[in-house]
Chain A
Amino acid sequence: MVLPSNRVALVPHALTGLRALSAPLLWWLVTSLQLKTAFLCLAFAMVSDAVDGPLMRRIGTPSVAGGYFDATADCAVIIAAFFAFAWIEVYSAWIVAFIGIVFLVFIVTSRLTPVIYDPVGRQIGGLLFLCVGATLLQPDFFLQAVVLSIVTGSLAATVTARMVHTVRFARLVATVHIPNQLS
């Protein structure tokens, strides 16, 4: 069966949507200690994250709303995983709150600047997926402590990068008028 071109263009959005829907499933699998199945669910989310952007550029129409949808789906999966780890007392609940705050900072600062693409934040998202994968595949107190350090440090790094980027842009706006995406 050949899909009409306007339906083909929806495939990347469907992938992103399925990734968002995998978040509650991942939470349930981790909290019921089905770690191998949870890893398969995470693997699907990682693959869909890797292919939806290139697919969108190839067959769809990239948009600001699509960019936010993609970032929100990533955040949903990562928060669901760490919330589940906090639920089974592997990591503390504060790490979930920290991830939520970093995502809020991303949303707010991306509304203040003309581009939402965040090269550091994008890599940190991938890194957090890997940290979730490592926790699922290799349950060990030592590894979990190292993962917690990496997650905390990388989240602090991405918040700092966003702040620096926003402050630089604000200074530039103060000297030269550059329309932001709201205007």
Chain B
Amino acid sequence: MRSFWMGLLIVIAVVVVIAVGSSVWLFWRINQETVTSLVVTNPGGRVGKALLVYQPGLTKFPEQVTTAFVSGLAAAGWQISRTTASREAPVPDAAYDLIIFGGPVYFEAPAKPLARYIARVGDLGAKPVVILLTGAGDVAGAIAATERIVIAAKGRPIRSLGFTTMKPNDEQGKYSGSNTERALQIASEAGQKLSPATQ
């Protein structure tokens, strides 16, 4: 019986140390801005110019969804300038016809660096905005919060897309593959279909 309590104590000590340590580090990590250079996809695109500002997540899923959406936009003829949300990211000026904000959802809210970027820009000049969020579970609350942030920054949300790893993305069964593969197909198709709505 003594070894049982000793085992329990050891496990509790190990778990507390790991849980506290990893939580502190991860919390710092998700609030950190990631600085990347501006990458232009489909520079010859004639449909319009889009600026995509996103926050990479702790998993590869947000990046994969963003890439799928960009490939759809490029296929539809858009020129897309893509960068991460930071103080180094460009301000969406008159050169852009469309703004896309993307990133992961933590605690049912959009990633802090993305929200800070939108607040810092302040005035999106009534430009059309697409919101592209990814989460493990329900993303509806985070989408609503992001839409409020965009409207407060004088942006015009025209499409909000949410994708998850643990809730069905394709409830009608229109696409094939795993839940995440379906998310990528939907994101790509949404990118392709976007052009007429924003012109």
Contact = CB atoms under 8 A, between A and B. Distances in A.
Interface of A: 33, 35, 87-90, 117-124, 127, 138-146, 149-150, 153-154, 157, 161
Contact of B8 (A88, A123, A139, A149): A123
Contacts of A118: 7
Interface in B1-32: 3-4, 6-8, 10-11, 14-15, 17-19, 21-23, 26-27, 30
Contacts of B166: 33, 35, 88, 90, 139
Contacts of A119: 3-4, 6-8, 10
Contacts of A153: 14-15, 17-18
Interface stretch (B45-53, B100-108, B189-197): B100-108
Q: Which of B59, B106, B165, B166 has the most CB of A within 10 A?
A: B166
Given A88-B166, A141-B57, A124 B18 contact: no
Interface string B137-180: 11000000000000000000000000011111000000000111
Interface in B87-143: 104-108, 135-138
Nearest to B30: A142
Contacts of B69: none
B54 interface: no
B19 A154 contact: no
B11 A88 contact: no
A75 B27 CA distance: 31
Nearest to A126: B11
Contacts, number: 103
Grouping DSSP codes into helix (H, G, I), strand (E, B) and loop, the A interface class, with mixed when no group exceeds half, is helix
Contact of A142 (B21, B107, B167): B107
B35 interface: no
Given A89-B165, A157-B14, 18 more contacts: A33-B166, A89-B59, A119-B3, A119-B8, A119-B10, A138-B137, A139-B135, A139-B136, A139-B137, A140-B105, A140-B106, A142-B106, A145-B22, A146-B23, A149-B18, A150-B15, A153-B15, A157-B11
Contact of B135 (A127, A140, A150): A140
Nearest to B138: A139
A161 B14 CA distance: 12
Given A139-B136, A141-B136, A150-B19, A88 B7 contact: no
18 contacts: A35-B166, A88-B178, A89-B61, A120-B10, A122-B7, A124-B11, A127-B15, A139-B165, A140-B108, A140-B135, A141-B58, A141-B106, A141-B136, A145-B58, A146-B22, A146-B26, A149-B18, A157-B10
Contacts of B104: 141
A90 B135 CA distance: 11
Contacts of A33: 166-168, 179
A146 B135 contact: no
A141 to B, nearest CB: 5
Given A90-B166, A123-B8, A157-B10, A140 B22 contact: no
Closest 10 CB pairs of A and B: A119-B7, A139-B137, A149-B22, A123-B11, A139-B136, A153-B18, A139-B166, A119-B3, A142-B106, A120-B7
A144 B61 CA distance: 13
A124 B178 CA distance: 31
A146 B7 contact: no
Contacts of A87: 178
Contact of A139 (B3, B21, B59, B167): B167
